[in-house]
Amino acid sequence: MKLEEAKTQFIQVWGTLGTDWGINRTMAQIHAVLLLSPKPLSMDQLMEELSISRGNVNMNLRELIAWGLVRREIIPGERREYFVGEKDIWEVAKCVMRERKKRELEPLKKTIDKLVKVTPDPTSEEYQTFINVTKDIQKIADGVDTLLTRLTQVERSWFVEKIVHLFTTKKKRK
Amino acid sequence: MKLEEAKTQFIQVWGTLGTDWGINRTMAQIHAVLLLSPKPLSMDQLMEELSISRGNVNMNLRELIAWGLVRREIIPGERREYFVGEKDIWEVAKCVMRERKKRELEPLKKTIDKLVKVTPDPTSEEYQTFINVTKDIQKIADGVDTLLTRLTQVERSWFVEKIVHLFTTKKKRK
DNA sequence: CATAATTTTCAAAAAATATTGAAAGTTTTG
DNA sequence: CAAAACTTTCAATATTTTTTGAAAATTATG
């Protein structure tokens, strides 16, 4: 396969992945283009590459910067701004984990913590079910929180090489 | 807080969570209603509870069943069908992990496996970047695959109680 | 400070996604 | 097997999300 075709396919697959993850397609595609570019790119180059409007590039770049996946780069002597994507995919993954933990897990935990305090009524079956489910969610959410915190702390080499042994060790305890 | 209010809030927060995860709001809300119900519910009860149409309930229930989060329940002597939601949240989490692994991770891996075979051109900087990024994604995707496979095998008690120690053991190696 | 280069904003338009509801389909019952 | 009870489908509609593009804002340059 020729490089150009492969790049197109990559941009497409990364866009689909983004959509699956609730990230808009264009945002993911801009990220893909930056991932594959050895050099920083300007807004005009991104508009050209993806055939999209300036406003669209601008908004999605801002969002990518907020996620920590892209940063501005000023090239001395150049008037216009350039953008660089984080190329270490483990760093990208950690960014996404941190961001989603902050935006989704933490609000969930806050709400659930309130809900488990609902006025008790031990005779009601409805109450029992409610309290069981919410307390269960609370426990799992804590587990996910711990997992994400730990994962965002480990090095890429650890993740890539050691994760296979993660559960095997524990299983021996049985 | 009164139970009714708490239920409403729960349905709302679960719906938001669904939206964040690329699952449609109504599907998540139907799931929430079933989670909180001690008894199986009929389509009519769900329509009533969420003020949505029959067609909508039907389609979203079908999707929930496909995900393995809800099952049909036939009550002897009753003509109409009833539905029950899986209430063990760890089971719910495992369902979601399995389903997304199948729908997202596996297709990604398949495509990336093709893309890393792009025609080599060692002199091109573009080629180098492409191959570095795709091979990196390949490694991380394998790691994620392993992690998900392992996670979907462990018991809820393990996840809730032992996950805290997961990385501490490994860190001692340093 | 006036002009030019570039970025940002945001209302309007387009595209994508979700919902309705009525008709068609299916299963049960007498 | 006809009628009743219930479920499924899907074209039309409504809602939500994304994109555009031109005007406003900002920043650099002479």
Confidence of residue B174 (pLDDT cuts 50, 70, 90): very low
Query: Given CB atoms, is A146 within the 8 Å cutoff of chain B?
Result: yes
The reported pLDDT for the residue numbered B169 is: 53
Instruction: Measure the CA angle with vertex B143, ends B137 and A138; round to 5°.
Output: 115
CB contact under 8 A, A150 and B140: no
Q: Residue B3 pLDDT > 60, yes or no?
A: yes
Give the SS3 label for residue A103: helix
Rounded to whole angstroms, how far apart are CA atoms B60 and B30?
8
Sequence-ordered alpha helix ranges (H) in B2-124: 3-20, 25-36, 43-50, 54-67, 89-100, 106-115
Q: Residue B170 pLDDT > 80, yes or no?
A: no
Instruction: Looking at the structure, give the CATH architecture of the domain made up of residues B3-85.
Output: Orthogonal Bundle (1.10)
Residues 6+ apart with CB under 8 A from B25: B15, B16, B18, B19
Domain limits, chain A: 3-85, 89-171
Mean pLDDT of the region B56-70: 97
Amino acid at A156: R
Mean pLDDT of the region B117-126: 96
Å separating the CA of residue B1 from the C1' of nucleotide D23? 50
Mean pLDDT of the region B127-143: 97
Confidence of residue B21 (pLDDT cuts 50, 70, 90): confident
The reported pLDDT for the residue numbered A172 is: 44
Name the phi and psi angles at B74, rounded to 5: -100, 125
The reported pLDDT for the residue numbered A168 is: 63
Query: Given CB atoms, is A90 within the 8 Å cutoff of chain B?
Result: yes
Residues B72-105: tens digit of each pLDDT: 999 999 999 999 999 999 999 999 999 999 999 9
Instruction: Measure the CA angle with vertex A105, ends A101 and A108; round to 5°.
Output: 160
Query: Given CB atoms, is A149 within the 8 Å cutoff of chain B?
Result: no
Q: Residue B172 pLDDT > 50, yes or no?
A: no
ipTM score:
0.91
Check if the beta carbon of residue A115 is closer than 8 Å to that of residue A88. Answer: no
How far is the alpha carbon of A104 from chain B, nearest alpha carbon, in Å? Answer: 7
Rg of chain A over Cα atoms, rounded to whole angstroms, equals: 22
Residues 31-60 in A contacting B (C-alpha not used; CB under 8 Å): 35-38
Tokens coding B54: 């029959």
Q: Residue B166 pLDDT > 90, yes or no?
A: no
Q: Over its length of 174 residues, how does chain A's per-residue pLDDT go in tens digits?
A: 999 999 999 999 999 999 988 899 999 999 999 999 999 999 999 999 999 999 999 999 999 999 999 999 999 999 999 999 999 999 999 999 999 999 999 999 999 999 999 999 999 999 999 999 999 999 999 999 999 999 999 999 999 887 877 776 544 443
Nearest to B1 by CA among A115, A9, A153: A115
For residue A124, count other CB atoms closer than 10 A to its CB.
13
